[in-house]
Amino acid sequence: MDSYNVHHNPTIFPDSHTFRPQRWIDDPRLEKYMVAFSRGTRGCIGINLAYAELFSCVARVFRVYGGLGNPGPQGTLEVFKTGEGDVRMVEDMFIPFVREGSKGVRVMVKK
């Protein structure tokens, strides 16, 4: 089982390519389909550490650069030369790959 096929299963997640994080809050039963760290006996042993690191990193980014309409002390972040093709998965090799030549998501700090 790979996370792409689970997270984009139209019977579980209609319109899965739309960014709607609220769907996880509105329906707590979807938690069993969160398989980014795998599940069961082969699940990631470091999931709790990974979540702690993610929360710390995201909190730091928002503290330094603010959020929508709320600039931080170091400025704001803006997406730079990044399109949908830079993040859309085109190949699955245990982890998702984007198109060849993509530079991924790039951001620029605006003062």
- Residue 101 falls within a domain, yes or no? no
Considering its fold, how many domains does the chain have in total?
A: 1
Domain annotation covers residue 67: no
Q: Residue 87: helix, strand or coil by DSSP?
A: coil
- How far is it, in rounded angstroms, from Cα 83 to Cα 92? 20
Range of the domain at 18: 1-45
Q: What is the pLDDT along the chain (111 residues), one digit of tens a residue?
A: 678 888 889 999 999 989 898 998 999 999 889 888 888 888 889 999 999 999 999 999 999 999 888 899 999 999 999 999 999 999 888 788 999 999 999 999 998
Paired strand residues for 67: 70
Residue 1 confidence (pLDDT): 65
- Give the pLDDT of residue 70: 87
The tokens describing 89, both together, are 């998965």
